[in-house]
Amino acid sequence: MKIAIASGKGGTGKTTLSTNLAALLAEKEQVVLVDLDVEEPNSGLFISGELKHTEKKYKMIPEWDPTHCNLCGICQEVCNFNAVLKMGKNIMVFPELCHGCYACSELCPKNSLPMKEREMGELKAFKKGNLSFVESKLVIGEEQAVPLIKQTIDYVDSNFSEDTIKLYDSPPGTSCPVIEATKHTDFVILITETTPFGFHDLKLAVETIRELGKDFGVVINRYGIGDDSVETYCREEGIPVIGRIPNDRAVAEIYSKGELLYPRLPFIKKELEKIAAHVADIRKELSV
Partner 1 sequence: MKEIVVISGKGGTGKTSITASFSVLGGKDLIVADCDVDAADMHLLLEPDFSSDEDFYSGELAEIDQAGCIQCGKCAEVCRFDAIPVVDGTYVVDPLSCEGCGYCARVCPENVITNHVNLVGNLYISNIKTGTKMVHAKLGIGNENSGKLVAQVKNEAKSLAEKENKDAILVDGSPGVGCPVVSSLSGATFVVLVTEPTVSGLHDLIRVHELVKKFKIKSGCIINKADINPDQVGKIKEFLEKEDIILVTEIPYDENFTKAMTLGKTIVEHDDKLGGLIKEAWKNIVKLA
Cβ closer to partner 1: 70 or 82?
A: 82
Half-sphere exposure of 204 (CA within 13 A, CB side): 17
Question: Which residues, numbered 135-174, are part of the site for partner 1 (CB under 8 A)?
Answer: 138, 140-146, 171-174
**Which member of 114, 240, 258, 263 binds partner 1 (CB under 8 A)?**
258
List all residues 6 or more positions away from 223 whose beta carbon is below 8 Å from its beta carbon: 194, 244, 245, 246, 247
Nearest CA among 208, 216, 203, 257 for reference residue 16: 257
**Which member of 51, 92, 225, 288 binds partner 1 (CB under 8 A)?**
225
Cβ closer to partner 1: 44 or 279?
A: 44
Cβ closer to partner 1: 99 or 283?
A: 99
Minimum Å distance from CB 156 to partner 1? 17
Cβ closer to partner 1: 106 or 157?
A: 106
Question: Which residues, numbered 8-27, are part of the site for partner 1 (CB under 8 A)?
Answer: 8-12, 15
Minimum Å distance from CB 226 to partner 1? 5
Q: Is 121 in the site for partner 1 (CB under 8 A)?
A: no
Cβ closer to partner 1: 225 or 288?
A: 225
Note whether 285 and 278 are within 8 A (CB): no
Distance of CA 103 to the CA centre of its chain: 28
Minimum Å distance from CB 283 to partner 1? 26
Report CA-CA distances (Å) from 113 to 61, 63, 71, 103: 9, 5, 11, 10
d(CA 229, CA 66): 62
Reduced to 3 states (helix: H, G, I; strand: E, B; else coil), residue 138 is strand
Q: Is 249 in the site for partner 1 (CB under 8 A)?
A: yes
Question: Which residues, numbered 59-88, are part of the site for partner 1 (CB under 8 A)?
Answer: 78, 80-81
Cβ closer to partner 1: 143 or 285?
A: 143
Site string for partner 1, 170-209 (x = CB under 8 A): -xxxxxxx-x---x-----------xxx--xx--x--xx-
Nearest CA among 237, 200, 195, 239 for reference residue 219: 239
Size of the site for partner 1 (CB under 8 A): 59
Count Cβ neighbours within 10 Å for each residue of 50-81 and write b for 16 or more, e otherwise: eeeeeeebebbbbbbeeeebeeeebbbeebee
Distance of CA 218 to the CA centre of its chain: 17
The identity of residue 32, as a single letter, is V
Binding stretches for partner 1 (CB under 8 A)? 8-12, 15, 39-40, 42, 45-46, 78, 80-81, 99-103, 106-107, 138, 140-146, 171-177, 179, 183, 195-197, 200-201, 204, 207-208, 211-212, 225-227, 247, 249, 252-253, 255-258
